[in-house]
Amino acid sequence: MKYVFIPLFILVSCGNPIASKDASTLKFSDSNQEKLNEVIKLETIAQERKKFLEDKKRVWSEINADAKESFQGISEIIRNKCFSCHDANTKLPIYGRILPGINPVHKHQEDGLKALDFSEGFPFKATGNPPQISLLKSIRNAVTERTMPIRAYTLVYPHKKINGDDEKRILDWIDPVIEKLTEYELKYNSEDTSVPTVAHKVLEQKCYRCHANGNHKGSFENLQNTDELLKGKYINLDQPDQSKMYTIIASGKMPPNKLEALSVEELATVRDWLELEAKKLSKRP
Ligand code: HEC
Ligand code: HEC
């Protein structure tokens, strides 16, 4: 250590008298150094940013590739018990194809496919491309709560019900994927912590599947279009916390599945966002 300090000391003590001789030179070289420092700083930020984005892409494709491969282990169960209504390539038997307008079997496949299409394996398709994590959680709930396959179907085909062994195998596949995607979101998609962004993310995760991008359960739709949403009848910017969209989630009526209920923080973020929008509006001339 000593040996490093000695030459440094000599350098510094030599540099000072020269610099003090001519103040204008000093000023000039100082501003150059500042510029250089600034360039180095920007360069470093750009490099860090580049690496961050590269890592993000790499981690995403790793998660996808792993999940796609491990899904093979349970694809048999899914093919057997879910494909009748959740596979774009499954052709319905003749009794399901006749009179499509009023045929309940046809309707089940149509609605089932909109909600979830397993035909291309992981990542799964669904109307409006909701976030995968939202789809995965809904599959998890459908399996643990035995709400799928629908009752009308298992009444006729009792052997298509999900049993304990199916559940275990599906959870063994789905839980690690949900965990990895959650970590990914936290690490790579949580930079913007502003209230509007976080609130939108909550809605995206918890509502889009049924109310955005072509999904219109209960005629509540186009949640992705903020301007339209704020002007519509579900939002009341005079009394933000009386907005139907807010009261319906605050009362726990939406999302319909209690397992997906918003956390206290998520609820607060949505309210904060509406209050923010109300303030913006009141400031307008
Ligand atoms: C006989 C048809 C049928 C079968 C078989 C079936 N489903 Fe469904 N599924 C539906 C229908 C219809 C919907 C749409 C319900 C709606 O729109 O309210 C749906 C919706 C879903 C949803 C979305 C729910 C939500 O909250 O958005 C999930 C997840 C799901 N099914 C999983 C499964 C799984 C897993 C299996 C196999 C174990 C399965 N389904 C088997 C008919 C079926
Ligand atoms: C699994 C699908 C699903 C999810 C997820 C979901 N909803 Fe709904 N939503 C429905 C259905 C079905 C209806 C219509 C039936 C009803 O009113 O109970 C509905 C109706 C609504 C309505 C209209 C009620 C009315 O009376 O006009 C609002 C507003 C709403 N949902 C808000 C939300 C919000 C906000 C979220 C997310 C926090 C959400 N929903 C998540 C299925 C869903």
* Domain boundary pick from 191, 214, 243: 191
Q: Are residues 167 and 233 in the same domain?
A: no
Which ligand has an atom closest to residue 167 CA? Answer: 1
In a domain, 20, yes or no: no
Q: How many angstroms separate the alpha carbon of residue 40 from the centre of ligand 1? A: 55
- Same domain membership, residue 77 and residue 114: yes
14 in a domain, yes or no? no
Candidate of 220, 245, 271 to mutate for ligand 2, largest count of ligand atoms within 8 Å of Cβ? 220
The model's pTM: 0.86
Measured CA to CA, the distance from residue 61 to residue 282 in angstroms comes to 45
The number of domains in the chain is 2
170 CB-contact burial (10 Å; exposed 0-12 / middle 13-18 / buried 19+): buried
Residue of minimum CA distance from atom 36 in ligand 1: 82
- Pair 158, 211 in one domain: no
**Predicted local confidence at residue 28, as pLDDT:** 59
Whether residues 185 and 198 share a domain: the answer is no
Residue 22, domain member (yes or no) = no
Q: Is the residue at 21 inside a domain?
A: no
- Mutation choice for ligand 2 from 148, 254, 267, 270, CB with most ligand atoms inside 8 A: 254
Look up residue 253 and give its two tokens. Answer: 């009526």
165 and 198 in a common domain: no
Do 143 and 51 lie in a common domain?
Answer: yes
Ligand 2 centroid–CA 126 distance in Å is 17
CA of 37 to the centre of ligand 2 (A): 54
Say which ligand is closest to the CA of 116. 1
Residues 171 and 85 occupy one common structural domain: yes
Domain harbouring 242, CATH code: 1.10.760
- Buried/exposed 25-60: b ≥16 CB within 10 Å, e otherwise: eeeeeeeeeeeeeeeeeeeeeeeeeeeeeeeeeeee
Give the tokens for residue 214: 């072509």
Do 107 and 208 lie in one domain? The reply is no
Q: Which of 75, 87, 150 to mutate to test the pocket of ligand 1 (most atoms within 8 A of CB)?
A: 150
Sign (positive or negative) of CA dihedral 94, 99, 105, 107: positive
pLDDT (0 to 100) of residue 97: 81
Structural domain ending residue among the three candidates 191, 223, 253 = 191
For position 26, what pLDDT does the model report? 54
Angle between helices 132-144 and 195-206 (to 10 degrees): 40
Protein residues with CB under 6 Å of any ligand 2 atom: 206-207, 209-211, 217-218, 220, 234, 244-245, 248-249, 254-256, 262
Q: Tell me, what's the pLDDT at 25?
A: 52
Are 115 and 197 in the same domain?
no
One domain for residues 178 and 224: no
> Is residue 29 in a domain?
no
Per-residue pLDDT tens digits of the chain, which is 285 residues long: 445 444 444 444 444 444 444 545 555 567 888 999 999 999 999 999 999 999 999 999 999 999 999 999 999 999 999 999 999 998 888 877 877 878 888 889 999 999 999 999 999 999 999 999 999 999 999 999 999 999 999 999 999 999 999 999 999 999 999 999 999 999 999 989 999 999 999 999 999 999 999 999 999 999 999 999 999 999 999 999 999 999 999 999 999 999 999 999 999 999 999 999 999 888 766
Residue 92's pLDDT is what?
A: 80
Distance CA 154, CA 146 (A): 11
Of 191, 220, 249, the domain-final residue: 191
Span from the CA of 81 to the centroid of ligand 1 (angstroms): 10
**Segments forming the whole domain that contains residue 86:** 38-191
| Closest atom of ligand 2 relative to the 134 alpha carbon | 5
Domain annotation covers residue 50: yes
**Does residue 25 fall inside a structural domain?**
no
Examine the domain organization and report whether 275 and 161 are in the same domain: no
Indicate whether 99 belongs to any domain.
Answer: yes
Residues 182 and 102 in one domain: yes
